[in-house]
Amino acid sequence: AQSVTQLGSHVSVSEGALVLLRCNYSSSVPPYLFWYVQYPNQGLQLLLKYTSAATLVKGINGFEAEFKKSETSFHLTKPSAHMSDAAEYFCAVSLNTGNQFYFGTGTSLTVIP
């Protein structure tokens, strides 16, 4: 079985501060891992995706995530938060076989001016 856990349903950071959103997965084989962002009243947009090519994945809008097999983690970071980063962030996991795709429960990011 596979699953994905996002620690912290709400995260608040000051503008300019480091953003760290946590994601841990549970899978017996290396999975595909994704981070999606959802702005209010909109659909989801892919930030980045891990496909085993490189453990440090760079995405859009200055975000990046590092795949750590030993910690079964895929945390999302951004060095300096902008007001426009306020949104809901979803980590997602899928195996490279089968037809299973799961979103985590999401983390709501608030950026304080």
Contacts with another protein by CB under 8 A lie at 32, 34, 36, 41-46, 49, 90, 94-96, 99-101, 103-106
**Residue of 30, 40, 45 lying closest to 93 (CA atoms):** 30
Query: Do the beta carbons of residue 106 and residue 90 sit within 8 Å?
Result: yes
The least distance separating another protein from the CB of residue 19, rounded to whole angstroms, comes to 19
SS in 3 state form for the chain? CCEEECCCCEEEEECCCCEEECCEEECCCCCEEEEEEECCCCCEEEEEEECCCCCEEECHHHCEEEEEHHHCEEEEEECCCCHHHCEEEEEEEECCCCCCEEECCCEEEEEEC
The least distance separating another protein from the CB of residue 51, rounded to whole angstroms, comes to 8
